[in-house]
Structure 1
Amino acid sequence: MSGIHNKQQVVSSVPQSGFLGHPKGLFTLFFTEFWERFSYYGMRAILVYYMYYEVSKGGLGIAENTALAIMSIYGSLVYMSGIIGGWLSDRIFGNSKAVLYGGILIMLGHIVLAIPGSVALFFVSMVLIVLGTGMLKPNVSSIVGEIYSEEDARRDAGFSIFYMGINLGGFLAPLIVGTVGLNYNFHLGFGLAAVGMFLGLAVFLFTRKKNLGLAGTFVVNPLSPSEKTKVMTWIGLGALIIILLLAITIPTGYLTFQTFSALIGLLGILIPTLYFIVMYKSPKTTSIERSRVIAYIPLFIASVMFWAIEEQGSTILANYADRRTQLDFAGIHISPAWFQSLNPLFIIVFAPIFAWLWVKLGSRQPSVPTKFSLGLLLAGISFLVILLPAYFGGSESLVNPLWLVLSYFIVVLGELCLSPVGLSATTKLAPAAFLAQTMSLWFLSNAAAQAINAQIVKFYSADSEMLYFGVIGVIALVLSLILFLLTPKIQGLMKGVR
């Protein structure tokens, strides 16, 4: 069956109305993703505290800097595993099954975290959640694209509604899971995250047939029987080698947390570099596409720098909220986990305003590289803002929580300049033969950022706080300026892409 034929068949199998004027399938995908993000961000809001709180307070008692590095590595692996999830879906079992299996793995991961336990159980849960998120996250978004025909004018609005689901889940989770986890019991909080994922799976399973029709059921590029045998052999061999390596390197002391963290840091930079080289050198890439690949490199680097700052909202700033912030404010006691709700809240409020602004400006809106440099500028400022309270009040006194709110707010404005624009620029600059892989590459900028963060969070302490925020903030400002100055050059290399 041809691809075009498949697409039309899928669209006609989906009831085209029934959810806010959109295809019925959007209901299924919206709530599956809402609950998946609820479970993920709920777990993330308390995970760093669970790691470094003393055992007597229900935590694991891991050293603070190690806990912050683990959070970054975790985030990095979640984004890297999307490549595996995308490949499994394209070649073996299709989007729909990938979402289902991913959701089951995530739920199991949260259940393991809900068992009061040891560091070993904690790492088991990490593996489950990393693999599960890698399978579910990229494939849910792909199915959203499948339920609309190519020329359906509702398509962009459909994605906007879908992203609202992501941010609603991300907004509510820290308030609910964060409160339960920090005020009552960490494991109860993780249990709530597991329930969230269970609800997402239930919505998906019970409404899939009726609402999604054939969407997500086709395997885009299936393995031939001979390839299947080959792949299974390689996967088996790979697993065996990994088990052997772990069996040798852990007892002999070669594989420590430090060496693992360095390895992820290396992979975070190596994988995207290889992607760029392969795309550039491929005979399938035309000369115009080559030029666009070169134009994409500075944007990619800017994106890495941006996410390196943005993602510290759930590590360094989460720690700052816990240790440095005045949590009794305006007559209420604030849970440090609540600050994690600020990012999605600001996105829900300001994303429509930015979307309206770009449409209003039309052809006068800033170019892609200019928007990127603006995003970086704002990220840098968000770190320089958080340095001010220590400058005025010293690093001993507790800081007014509004400083943190301001820092999260500024970085979100940056995110709205860079993130949606980055996604759209990626699809336009990607060589035709590498479209799906280039989307993975965009998410790898986040993986690379967090892999780098895992290396630098160890320099953060109460004493080095001002220096830490200052250096990173200034680097972002310098990169923003360089990118701004390079804009005409990059624009030329983009060969007509606006």
Structure 2
Amino acid sequence: MSSQKTSNEKTFFGHPRGLFTLFSTELWERFSYYGMKALLIYYMYDKLKNGGLGLDQGTAASIMSVYGALVYMSGIIGGWIADRILGGRRTIFYGGILIMCGHIALSFPGGVVALFISMVFIIIGTGLLKPNVANVVGDLYTKEDIRRDAGFSIYYMGVNLGAFIAPYIAGTLGQKINYHLGFSMAAIGMALGLIFYVISGRKTLGEAGTKVPHPLSPKEKKQMYVKVLIGLLIIALLVVIGALTDNLTVSAFSTVISILGVLIPLCYFIVMLSSKKTSDVERSRLLAYIPLFIAAVIFWSIEEQGSVILAIYADQRTQLSLGGFTIASSWFQSLNPVFIVVFAPVLAALWTKLGKRQPITPHKFSLGLVFAGLSFLIMVLPALISGTDTLVSPLWLVASFFLVVRRIMSISSRTLGHNKAGTRCLFSSNNESLAAF
């Protein structure tokens, strides 16, 4: 087993060297993703003379929302491809290539066409890469390895470090010089991550992530290709019909994505619960997981508004000049990761000290949702105090981001490690019930 082979190499804070490879890969992938995301909504609604696309602000917000939803949904495809066709390592590589191509498309002034081409590449690429990196981290350790949880904590420091520095580099270049220069930095970041992943991974990852847990038989592959072809033809037909009937609008597309956002998880839960391969123990755990899944959906729906509603608020309703120094509105996107990096160890230490007296995971989720709700409720206060026509202090946004991050920090590092490693729990190799899906 690859984890047994690599778990004795204590060269990165006492962990397998492969952890540093995956730590760095995800750092640069998150740098590219959040660097682009910090600029994207401004680029869409900014005036043409400023280098933006000049889209209606409401349209830009709708596109951002659909984009965010599709990024999350695409993880299902990435998990399935890794488990049944390519294995985790190759899936990560191809995902990184697509992400880099997406950022390159935005690096040139190609207008709305380049925007949507970029989004397609990044959505698919992130779906291939994001869930599988965490899974390969798990492959570095045996199930009994006591370093496993600490390894995930180190890995997520890389995630948040990349997300933290991205707005200051890509965001600053994009807003103060040229949007396409900012997007170019995102492309360079992903390229650096890919180069390091390939060169370092050959030496440090061993066999981790190379196995295809449930490979398709030749017959199943043919059936899969037919289904994919039929699916693409149906999508193409719907696009043509929508264009001919003038129904191919952002609003209509948002409605379709909203419906899929409900139907896709519902189908997966039904498949897993009804599968003969699901044991009684697995079924009971799945039923217990459903409320947590719903709570997570609610939270991420709120948290994702940081790059939409709060981003617009930062740009148009916030006082950005302080003592002769001007803050770029994209910089506020770094607040989420910086609060996690600073306060997550404090919460982890608190849970450790409380031991068995700490709240159970469902209670932590509930407490987190309360904080997430408060993060938006607090933004009502500036309007009540100063009205809606006055620029407000940036500290209100700082407080809002802090409160929403408290939800993330309310989950112990141990729970976070296991849940994040299992972001593919609906479609991973660890879930036998979907092997025949």
Q: Shared fold (TM-score greater than 0.5)? A: yes
1:392 paired residue number: 385
Once structures 1 and 2 are overlaid, which stretch shifts more, 389-398 or 287-296?
Answer: 287-296
Question: 2: CA distance between counterparts of 1:409 and 1:374?
Answer: 14
Which of 323, 326, 333 is the aligned partner of 1:333?
Answer: 326
Question: 2: CA distance between counterparts of 1:59 and 1:116?
Answer: 9
1:125 paired residue number: 118
Q: Secondary structure at the match of 1:22?
A: coil
Q: CA deviation at 1:161?
A: 0.6
Which of 280, 283, 294 is the aligned partner of 2:276?
Answer: 283
- Provide TM-score, normalisation by structure 1: 0.82
2:56 paired residue number: 63
- 1:306-317 aligned within 5 A: 306-317=299-310
1:272 paired residue number: 265
Q: Spell out, residue by residue over 1:56-76, the C-alpha distance to the aligned partner (whole angstroms, 9 max, x if none).
A: 111111111111111111111
Q: CA deviation at 1:11?
A: 3.1
Q: CA deviation at 1:295?
A: 3.3
Q: Spell out, residue by residue over 1:226-266, the C-alpha distance to the aligned partner (whole angstroms, 9 max, x if none).
A: 21122122222222332233233223322221111100001
1:351 paired residue number: 344
Which of 207, 223, 226 is the aligned partner of 2:219?
Answer: 226
2:22 paired residue number: 29
Q: CA deviation at 1:298?
A: 2.8
Once structures 1 and 2 are overlaid, which stretch shifts more, 244-253 or 290-299?
Answer: 290-299
Match status 1:171 vs 2:164? yes
Gaps of 5+ in 1: 1-7, 442-498
Q: Spell out, residue by residue over 1:94-122, the C-alpha distance to the aligned partner (whole angstroms, 9 max, x if none).
A: 11111110000000000000011211111
Question: 2: CA distance between counterparts of 1:19 and 1:95?
Answer: 22
Match status 1:213 vs 2:243? no
Q: Spell out, residue by residue over 1:16-39, the C-alpha distance to the aligned partner (whole angstroms, 9 max, x if none).
A: 122222111111111111100000
Match status 1:135 vs 2:128? yes
2:137 paired residue number: 144
- In structure 2, relative to structure 1, the CA distance for the partners of 1:367 and 1:109 (3 Å cut) is same
- 1:31-430 aligned within 5 A: 31-287=24-280, 289-418=282-411, 423=416
Aligned length: 432
Q: Secondary structure at the match of 1:299?
A: helix
Question: 1: CA distance between counterparts of 2:426 and 2:397?
Answer: 44
Question: 2: CA distance between counterparts of 1:433 and 1:53?
Answer: 39
Identity, in percent, stands at 56
- 1:456-475 aligned within 5 A: none
Q: Is the 8 A contact 1:103 1:136 kept in 2?
A: yes
Q: Is the 8 A contact 1:14 1:211 kept in 2?
A: no
- Provide TM-score, normalisation by structure 2: 0.93
Q: CA deviation at 1:410?
A: 1.0
Q: CA deviation at 1:152?
A: 1.6
Question: 2: CA distance between counterparts of 1:43 and 1:433?
Answer: 28
Q: Is the 8 A contact 1:296 1:429 kept in 2?
A: no
2:13 paired residue number: 20
Report the AA paired with residue 59 of structure 1.
G
Report the AA paired with residue 344 of structure 1.
P
- In structure 2, relative to structure 1, the CA distance for the partners of 1:437 and 1:381 (3 Å cut) is farther
Q: Secondary structure at the match of 1:19?
A: coil
Once structures 1 and 2 are overlaid, which stretch shifts more, 62-71 or 387-396?
Answer: 62-71
Q: Secondary structure at the match of 1:47?
A: helix
1:489 paired residue number: none
Q: Is the 8 A contact 1:102 1:136 kept in 2?
A: yes
Report the AA paired with residue 152 of structure 2.
F
